[in-house]
Amino acid sequence: MEEELKSLLQDVESLQRSQTKSPDSIDEKVVRIMNLAKTGASRRSKVKDMSAEVVDSNPYSRLMALQRMGIVENYERIREFSVAIVGIGGVGSVAAEMLTRCGIGRLLLYDYDTVELANMNRLFFRPDQVGMTKTDAAVQTLSDINPDVVLESYSLNITTVKGFEIFTESLKFQGSQKSGRSTGVDLVLSCVDNYEARMVVNQACNELGQTWMESGVSEDAVSGHIQLLVPGETACFACAPPLVVASGVDERTLKREGVCAASLPTTMGVVAGLLVQNALKYLLKFGQVSPYLGYNSLKDYFPTMEMRPNPQCSNLACVERQNEYIQTKPARDAAAKVKVEAEASAATEGPLHLENDWNISVVDDTEMETSNASSASGALPEGLTHELPSADKYPESLVVGEASPVVDDLEDLQRQLDALNAL
Amino acid sequence: MEEELKSLLQDVESLQRSQTKSPDSIDEKVVRIMNLAKTGASRRSKVKDMSAEVVDSNPYSRLMALQRMGIVENYERIREFSVAIVGIGGVGSVAAEMLTRCGIGRLLLYDYDTVELANMNRLFFRPDQVGMTKTDAAVQTLSDINPDVVLESYSLNITTVKGFEIFTESLKFQGSQKSGRSTGVDLVLSCVDNYEARMVVNQACNELGQTWMESGVSEDAVSGHIQLLVPGETACFACAPPLVVASGVDERTLKREGVCAASLPTTMGVVAGLLVQNALKYLLKFGQVSPYLGYNSLKDYFPTMEMRPNPQCSNLACVERQNEYIQTKPARDAAAKVKVEAEASAATEGPLHLENDWNISVVDDTEMETSNASSASGALPEGLTHELPSADKYPESLVVGEASPVVDDLEDLQRQLDALNAL
């Protein structure tokens, strides 16, 4: 296109000089460029409803099929959800693309960085976006992919005072929606690459009582994790030091000044996939939402565990949410009992979905949502180690306290890891 | 851009009519469009060597860092490798993008399908590519992302006689390379979505003695797997019926005529990530290459196992490769002994890398490459079931025969699954 435009410019210049040349050839050229631009810029129009019709032109047919196959009860609900993604890097950008392609209602994107060629070893950004802010580049790509998604971009640093204020205000903003949520979003996904930013997301979510999921990839690029954090109900990020999947390399060594962290599109793609899969399970209520899932790519080992909140947590908002959670326990128990009874009586009345052509029943929500019974233990499953923060900023957070891995899982994992280590 | 060009066209038309209007404004507009076009169409130039320099403009800095961190001994070797990807759909396209961003030397892409809006719920393809062949669209996107990768695209159906011939010839073609390979590629990745195409890839690889990796995602979109196949050494695709990660849904039910399979960008992204990670471990010799890895997303459960070849396999080329493998065993054992002795004497001489600034040693190849000791057993790990082929085309393949899961792993996996099922 550049060549054609150069030639057009020359023609216009010669026109300026002569004023006698016929402009017909210019006209033709501009029409040709218009056609070129049209082909390149064709965007699909917005759709009003998600159709399950099986035709090539339906962007949602393969997602709506999740209903017919008994995986999700009501897929179209996804359009009602708002998700905030903090950090649009190797994990966050792919997470944003996955949610966009799934037809999420609204995405809020936060980052302050710009796209560099050094980011090209991870998915999503393109060399022609170098120099753009990551949020602008993401909006450009995502709005082309799915114009149905409402995109909000915030090019700011959440670790500054001003940035933190805008961040929390944007999470709180509910607009004219009547959603029954306490904030304006259903879930926050943390995809940042440093300890400080994670502590800031933790602070905001504890203050707002906002459920969030954390993700991370080790600096040697070969392990990662995702974690669900429900203020008051699970450990917050300050309750226990962050965990890393042990990969035989001392994390502290990797944090030396001037050392460039390694990264791989594979590890980051897997972590983004596990994160958004967990988010979809949480939002659309199918399968089991993982409280913690690690990924050690050298051994293809995936440890899992649960962590209870620490009553001595240094984060005051976390302790407040814990107290609220304890106080509301009787009401929760009563509601759960009513639900179980209602489902038990529904079960005797017949199948869950009378219109179910394939006689496949939807996975039972109550079974899936029941969390593992856990007993107190300070030990971590083998394969996981604590990642020590480099600063002494939050020394209290190093007390593991009530963090309680599920012992049944733990023993199995230990046996499995011993077997793997013995190879 | 379309709006600007429309306005320019109007100006040119009015110029045609009047011939008196100053063309200055047109000139300015064209210059602005040129600048716009320049930003949009900028492509990075090819690079001669992979640099480890830590600067924003280096697309390989984060990959070369894998060497400094002791994960990979020689990352730049990736430029010598050729990988063929069969099936450029939800898994294959993402696998191709990952390898392209990793700087693979040469990629061969096979597909006969065109891009549809119905594919937009998976990563990679864009709405403006609808109607293009998947191979053309992939080459368009991948060459923009990384011009250093040599891309070859084959828009053909490998299950036709003519397609199969071109497929095998293209795998065999070595060009002027002196690689020491028996074929022209180092690895074939199968990312097809049906049984017939998998049997065709299996046939070609058995005939050529070509190591390949198979991948798949279940039709209910919530589970998947990857598998390593080394002709003569591991089970081929016809030795045992294909395995699926049990998800509680009968696969045969899902294969009814006219039923639209569900798909999710998350599951496919995870499977592509696990597949390419396994490919990188195999090619660059780090970590443990997984013989089989399943992914059940509903429970975040990842079963693994090994399968020995079946001496009664219905595939004659497989049986030939098995016989060759047995005949070359004494030579392999001798070579392995020499290697172990050489490494043992090197170990007494000092660290593997004298120039190693960080005193981090590279993962020991011999330990990593040693495969699990396995004993004969016909049982499958819990969580895996056989996927029965719908046709009776390969009835002999249903004999499990010598397929031998690793018993240590199996028992652990069974315990873990029992614990999970008991929740």
How confident is the model over A252-302, as pLDDT tens digits?
333 444 567 899 999 999 999 999 999 999 999 999 999 999 999 999 999
CA gap A292, A242 in Å, rounded: 11
- Segment A300-321 shows an average pLDDT of 94
Could you give the angle at which helices B316-327 and B195-208 cross, rounded to 10 degrees? Answer: 40
Mean pLDDT within A187-199: 93
Q: Which of A39, A221, A273 sits opposite B269 (nearest CB)?
A: A273
Measured between beta carbons, the chain B residues lying within 8 angstroms of A55 are: 118
Region B219-244 average pLDDT: 89
Token look-up 């994992």 returns: A413
How many whole angstroms separate alpha carbon A217 and alpha carbon A268?
Answer: 7
Taking 60 as the threshold, does the pLDDT of residue A357 lie above it?
Answer: no
For tokens 């990679």, the residue is B124
In chain A, residues with a C-beta closer than 8 Å to the C-beta of B264 are 63, 66, 102, 277, 280
pLDDT for B352 beyond 90: no
Spacing of C-alpha B380 from chain mean position? 25
Best of B266, B270, B305 to substitute, by most chain A Cβ atoms within 10 angstroms, is B266
Going by pLDDT thresholds of 50, 70 and 90, the confidence category of residue B254 is very low
Cross-strand pairs, A153: A109
Quick one: tokens of A1?
């296109």
| pLDDT of residue A49 exceeding 70 | yes
Considering only the beta carbons, identify the residue of B57, B249, B367 that sits closest to A69. Answer: B249
Answer whether A123's CB lies under 8 Å from B98's CB: yes
Q: How far B26 CA lies from chain A's nearest CA (Å)? A: 8
pLDDT level of residue B310 (50, 70, 90 thresholds): very high
pLDDT in tens, A6-29: 666 676 666 666 554 444 556 666
Question: Which residues 348-407 in chain A show a CB within 8 A of chain B?
Answer: 358, 360, 363, 367, 370, 372
Instruction: Please state which of the ranges A216-230, A295-309, B57-71, B349-363 shows the lowest mean pLDDT.
Output: B349-363
Q: Confidence class of residue A78 from pLDDT cuts 50, 70 and 90?
A: very high
Residue of B nearest to A222 (CA): B71
pLDDT at A137: 97
Out of B27, B59, B248, closest to residue A12 by CB: B27
Q: Which long-range contacts (CB under 8 A, 24 or more apart) does B193-200 make?
A: B193/B87, B193/B89, B193/B217, B193/B261, B195/B242, B195/B389, B195/B390, B195/B391, B196/B159, B197/B86, B197/B87, B197/B158, B197/B159, B198/B237, B198/B242, B199/B237, B199/B238, B199/B393, B199/B394, B200/B158, B200/B159, B200/B164, B200/B167
| Selection from A148, A253, A312, A346 nearest residue B70 by Cα | A253
- For chain B, give the percent of residues with pLDDT over 70: 66
Of A57-66, A97-106, A189-198, B31-40, the poorest mean pLDDT is in: B31-40
Shortest distance between the Cα of A44 and any Cα of chain B, in A, equals: 7
Please answer yes or no on whether B30 and A16 come within 8 Å at the CB atom: no
Nearest neighbour of B71 by CB, restricted to A5, A37, A262: A262
Residue B400 pLDDT greater than 60, yes or no: no
pLDDT for B152 beyond 80: yes
Contacts of A260 (CB under 8 A, 6+ apart): B54, B61, B62, B65, B68
Taking only residues 259 to 278 of chain A, the set having a beta carbon closer than 8 angstroms to any beta carbon of chain B reads 259-267, 269-270, 272-274, 276-278
Tell me which chain A residues have a C-beta less than 8 angstroms from the C-beta of B26: 12
Per-residue model confidence (pLDDT) at position A364: 35
What is the mean pLDDT of the segment spanning B58-71? Answer: 93
* Pairing state between β A384-386 and A292-296: unpaired
Instruction: Please name which of B242, B266, B302 lies closest in space to residue B91, comparing C-alpha atoms.
Output: B266
A214 pLDDT above the threshold of 60: yes
Partner residue facing B276 (CB), from A266, A419, A423: A266
| pLDDT higher than threshold 90 for residue B117 | yes
Residue B335's Cβ-count burial label (10 Å; 0-12, 13-18, 19+) is: exposed
Question: Among A104-118, A123-137, B66-80, B344-358, whose mean pLDDT is lowest?
Answer: B344-358
pLDDT at B242: 63
Closest residue in B to A91 (Cα) is B269
Q: Mean of the pLDDT values across residues A89-104?
A: 98
Tell me the residues of chain B between 157 and 216 that have a Cβ less than 8 Å away from chain A: none
Q: What are phi and psi of B368, to 5 degrees?
A: -70, -35
C-alpha triplet B383, B297, A151: angle, nearest 5°? 175
A274: chain B residues, CB-CB within 8 Å? 266, 270, 300
Single out the catalytic residue among A102, A205, A260, A318. A260
Tell me the mean pLDDT in the region B139-155: 97
Span B362-381, mean pLDDT? 38
* Mean pLDDT to the nearest integer, B278-298: 97
A36 in reach of chain B (CB within 8 A)? no
Structure-token pair, residue A148: 């149905």
Residues in chain A within 8 Å Cβ distance of B278:
300
A396 DSSP assignment? G
Q: Token digits for A412?
A: 């199995």
User: Hey, which residues 302-331 in chain A have their CB within 8 Å of chain B?
Assistant: 302, 304
- Residue B255: pLDDT band with limits 50, 70, 90: very low
Q: Residue B104's pLDDT band (boundaries 50, 70, 90)?
A: very high
Which of B22-26, B148-152, B256-260, B328-332 is most confident? Answer: B148-152
With the CA atoms of B368, B370, B376 and B377 taken in that order, what torsion angle do they form, in degrees rounded to the nearest 10? 0
CA atoms of A352 and B309, how far apart (whole Å) = 45
**A282/A276 Cα distance (integer angstroms):** 10
Nearest residue, CB atoms, A273 vs list B56, B259, B273: B273
Instruction: Give the pLDDT band (50/70/90) at residue A54.
Output: confident
CA distance, residue B43 to nearest chain A CA (Å): 6
How far apart (Å, rounded) are the C-alpha atoms in residues A199 and A159?
9
ipTM over 0.90: no
Residue B348 confidence (pLDDT): 61
Q: Tell whether the model's pLDDT for residue A62 goes beyond 80.
A: yes
Confidence band of B373 (pLDDT split at 50, 70, 90): very low
Measured CA to CA, the distance from residue A319 to residue A313 in angstroms comes to 6
Mean pLDDT for B361-374 is 33
Q: Which of residues 89-128 of B touch A (CB under 8 A)?
A: 94, 97-98, 101-103, 116-118, 120-123, 126-128
Is the predicted pLDDT of residue A169 greater than 60, yes or no?
Answer: yes
The alpha-carbon gap from B199 to the nearest alpha carbon of chain A, in Å, equals 25
Quote the pLDDT of residue B24: 53
Whether the per-residue pLDDT at B113 is higher than 50: the answer is yes
Whose tokens are 């759709």? That residue is: A47
State yes or no: pLDDT of A148 exceeds 90: yes
DSSP letter for each residue of B118-158: GGTTSSS--GGGTTSBHHHHHHHHHHHH-TTSEEEEEES-T
Q: Mean pLDDT throughout A127-148?
A: 96
- Among B295, B307, B163, B292, residue whose Cα is nearest residue B238: B307
Once rounded to an integer, what is the mean pLDDT over residues A193-218?
Answer: 95
* Amino acid of residue B28: E
pLDDT at B249: 43
Q: Give yes or no for a contact between A79 and A283, defined as CB atoms under 8 angstroms apart.
A: no
Mutation site for A-interface testing, chosen from B264, B288, B361, B370 by largest number of A Cβ within 10 Å: B264
A341, two tokens: 């009874």
Q: Is A10 on the interface with B (CB under 8 A)?
A: no
At B282, the pLDDT band (50, 70, 90 cuts) reads: very high
pLDDT value at position A345?
Answer: 80
- A61: chain B residues, CB-CB within 8 Å: 118, 260
Closest listed residue to residue B59, CA positions, set B152, B148, B151: B148
Q: What is the pLDDT of residues B402-420, one digit of tens each?
A: 333 333 444 554 555 455 4
Task: Return all residues near B212 (Cβ < 8 A) that are at least 6 apart.
Answer: B187, B188, B189, B190, B201, B205, B229
Among A307-316, A378-387, B211-220, B226-235, the minimum mean pLDDT is found in: A378-387
| Residue labelled with tokens 């699926």 | B244
Chain A residues close to B94, C-beta within 8 Å? 123, 269
CA distance A92 to A276: 10
Given an 8 Å threshold on Cβ–Cβ distance, is B27 in contact with A44?
no
Q: Which has more confidence, B287 or A394?
A: B287
Q: How far is B314 from chain A (nearest CA, A)?
A: 32
Contacts of A30 in chain B (CB under 8 A): 5, 8-9, 12
CB B114 within 8 A of CB B133: yes
Best mutation target among B58, B222, B295, B364 (most A Cβ atoms within 10 Å) is: B222
For residues A214 and A240, the answer to whether their CB atoms sit within 8 Å is: no
pLDDT greater than 60 at residue B39 = no
Closest in B13, B118, B220 to A61, CB measured: B118
Instruction: Give CA separation, A92 vs A63, A133, A156, A295, A397, in Å.
Output: 22, 14, 15, 17, 26
Least confident among A268-272, B245-249, B281-285: B245-249
Nearby residues of A328 by Cβ (< 8 Å), 6 or more positions away: none
Contact B103, B78 (CB under 8 A): yes
| pLDDT at res. A304 | 93
**In this predicted model, which residue has the larger pLDDT, B251 or A224?**
A224
- Per-residue pLDDT band at B288 (split at 50, 70, 90): very high
Task: Output A409 or B318, whichever has higher pLDDT.
Answer: B318
Is the distance from CB of A239 to CB of B54 less than 8 angstroms?
no
Q: Using a CB-CB distance cutoff of 8 angstroms, which residues of chain A are in contact with residue B405?
A: none
In 10 A of CB A215, how many CB atoms?
25
Mean pLDDT on A131-150:
97
Question: Which of A242-251, A360-369, B218-227, B340-349 ranks highest by mean pLDDT?
Answer: B218-227
B-interface mutation test, from A2, A32, A35, A101, most B Cβ less than 10 A away:
A101
A269 vs B contacts (CB less than 8 Å): 94, 98, 269-270, 272-273
pLDDT at B276 over 60: yes
In this structure, are strands A243-245 and B106-111 parallel, antiparallel, or unpaired? unpaired
CB pairs under 8 A between A and B: 345
Q: Which residues of A touch B408 (CB under 8 A)?
A: 419
DSSP B330-389: HHHHHHHHHHHHHHHHHHHH--S-TT-TT-PPPPPHHHHHPPPP-----PPPTTEEE---
Using alpha carbons, select from B83, B94, B101 the residue that is nearest to residue B143: B101
State residue A79's pLDDT score: 96
Contact assignment for A262 to B372 by CB distance below 8 Å: no
Q: Look at residue A32 and tell me whether its pLDDT is greater than 90.
A: no
Q: CB neighbours of A339 closer than 8 A, spacing ≥ 6? A: A366
A126-130, A149-153, A308-312, B255-259: lowest mean pLDDT where? B255-259
Contact of B23 with chain A, judged by CB distance below 8 Å, is answered with yes
Element (H, E) at A292: strand A292-296
Mutation for testing the A interface, residue in B260, B263, B285, B371 having most A CBs under 10 Å: B260
Rg (CA), chain A: 25
Longest dimension (CA), chain A: 91
Closest-CA residue in chain B for A4?
B34
Position B404 scores a pLDDT of: 36
Distance CA A341, CA A213 (A): 31
**Is A260 among the catalytic positions?**
yes
Of B59-68, B267-276, B376-385, which range is least confident? B376-385
Query: In which residue are the tokens 């402009």 written?
Result: A23
Report d(CA B422, CA A39) in Å as an integer.
Answer: 56
pLDDT band at B343 (very low <50, low <70, confident <90, very high): confident
The Cα B217–Cα B193 span in angstroms is: 8
